């Protein structure tokens, strides 16, 4: 009788855990894959490096341990201005939930170069600005933590950025929960 109770107890705990993880995953709007609307683990389909592993810089990996990361590479130009304004507004709203790197494409900076080479959606090095990059952590099918990312060299507007920030936060929270268990 005791072994049956223990078995039921373990099954109940496992079910609660799986439901919790499932609800976190339901919060994710975009799937992980290689298409244009997916979060990427390798270079996406449209990249000249499609399918190859990304070499994430150490400063990005260190920042990801705490929260999702947004990197914005831009110039002080009229083309970048709408994206800059949208990002500034969202950083005020989500600044405590993400790590934000505001990088000028007009200055020589190792981080700007690394972001352009590693995260240009078309295969880098960066050829167009603004370059908006959002990275987070997500558990893979084996339960291991994987860096997922999304980038664009287009002026996307506030809604695109906001939905990806929120998605990144959901995936990051899911990863933290899976690490605790």
Beta bridge partner(s), residue 42: 53
Question: Once rounded to an integer, what is the mean pLDDT over residues 10-21?
Answer: 45
CATH of domain 2-180: 3.40.30.10
Residue-level pLDDT at 30: 85
* Interatomic CA distance for residues 97 and 144, integer angstroms: 22
Spell out the domain ranges in the chain. 2-180
Question: Once rounded to an integer, what is the mean pLDDT over residues 155-175?
Answer: 94
* Interatomic CA distance for residues 106 and 32, integer angstroms: 33
Model confidence at 142, pLDDT cuts 50, 70, 90, reads: confident
Q: Is the pLDDT of residue 45 over 60?
A: yes
* Interatomic CA distance for residues 80 and 75, integer angstroms: 6
The answer to whether 72 and 111 are in contact (CB under 8 A) is: no
DSSP secondary structure, 94-118, as one string = HTTTSEEEEEETTS--HHHHHHHHH
Percent of the chain with pLDDT over 70: 81
3-state secondary structure of 72: strand
* Interatomic CA distance for residues 167 and 76, integer angstroms: 28
- Tell me how long the chain is: 181
Other CB atoms within a 10 A radius of the CB of residue 23 amount to: 11
């Amino acid at each position: 009788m005791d072994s049956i109770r223990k078995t039921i107890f373990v099954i109940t705990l496992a079910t609660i855990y799986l439901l919790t993880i499932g609800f976190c995953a339901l919060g994710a709007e975009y799937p992980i894959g290689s298409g244009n609307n997916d979060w990427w683990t390798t270079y996406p389909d449209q990249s000249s490096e499609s399918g190859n592993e990304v070499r994430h810089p150490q400063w990005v990996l260190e920042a990801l341990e705490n929260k999702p990361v947004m990197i914005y590479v831009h110039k002080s130009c009229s083309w970048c201005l709408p994206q800059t304004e949208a990002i500034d507004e969202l950083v005020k709203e989500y600044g405590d939930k993400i790590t934000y790197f505001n990088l000028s494409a007009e200055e020589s900076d190792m981080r700007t170069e690394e972001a352009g080479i590693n995260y240009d959606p078309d295969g880098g090095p960066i050829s167009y600005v603004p370059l908006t990059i959002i990275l987070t952590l997500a558990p893979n099918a084996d339960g291991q933590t994987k860096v997922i990312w999304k980038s664009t060299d287009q002026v996307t507007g506030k809604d695109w950025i906001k939905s990806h920030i929120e998605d990144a936060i959901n995936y990051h929270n899911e990863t933290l929960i899976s690490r605790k268990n």
